[in-house]
Amino acid sequence: MADDIMVLRYTELPPQAGFARQKVSFTWGKRTKTVSGVLRLAQTVIKMLLTTPGTDSFYVESGTILPGLVHRGVTRSSQQSIKMDATISVQDLERQIQDIQAGLSIPDDERLRELRIRRIEYLPVTAEWIVDITVISYAGTAVTIDVAPYLKGK
């Protein structure tokens, strides 16, 4: 059986640089308990965000190129191009999830209304990307995810 992502907890963090921050912790492994609501939706977003297109046999075209983008070498001139590609990748992910969910009977708090990009920024001092995405459900519940730790595998 393939490993799943299991969201363990959601923690509110102090604001930083004018941004509200939350932390969604997860682990890899067989699912021992289920999550529901906006956390289940966030789990779906993270899973698909980490999926490389062509690797999911059920949804061959699903996934993003985001993990590959943030591992590229970054120069001053390539930062804006990578940022634009990352933005397009997240927008495409929103469409993918909405298309998949269109034929499913799921609660409004687990149905994606919008992925809002709060911040995509490269920090040259630490050579890392900051990617904050807010997941908004049709029920109006939302959770903001700092995507960078998932992309680094931490």
pLDDT at 10 over 90: no
- pTM of structure: 0.74
Whole-number mean pLDDT of the chain? Answer: 80
**Is pLDDT of 78 > 70?**
yes
pLDDT higher than threshold 60 for residue 105? yes
Q: What is the pLDDT of residue 97?
A: 95
Instruction: Give the pLDDT confidence score for residue 2 in this predicted structure.
Output: 47
Q: Which two tokens stand for residue 92?
A: 């495409």
Residue 29 pLDDT > 70:
no
What pLDDT sits at residue 152? 64
Contacts of 72 (CB under 8 A, 6+ apart): 78, 82
Q: Please write the tens of the pLDDT for every residue from 42-67.
A: 989 988 888 888 887 777 788 888 87
pLDDT at 8 over 70: no
- Is the pLDDT at 32 greater than 80? The verdict is no
Report residue 94's pLDDT band, with 50, 70 and 90 as the boundaries: very high
Residues of the chain with pLDDT > 90, as a percent, come to 26
Q: Which domains does the chain have, with CATH numbers?
A: 4-152 (3.10.450)
Of 12-21, 25-34, 44-53, the one with minimum mean pLDDT is: 25-34
* Confidence at residue 115, expressed as pLDDT on a 0 to 100 scale: 95
H/E/C letters for each residue in the chain?
CCCEEEEEEEEEEEEECCEEEEEEEEEEECCCCCCCCHHHHHHHHHHHHHCCCCCCCCCCCCCCCHHHHHCCCCCCCCHHHHHHHHHHHHHHHHHHHHHHHHCCCCCHHHCEEEEEEEEEEEECCCCEEEEEEEEEECCCCEEEEECHHHHHCC
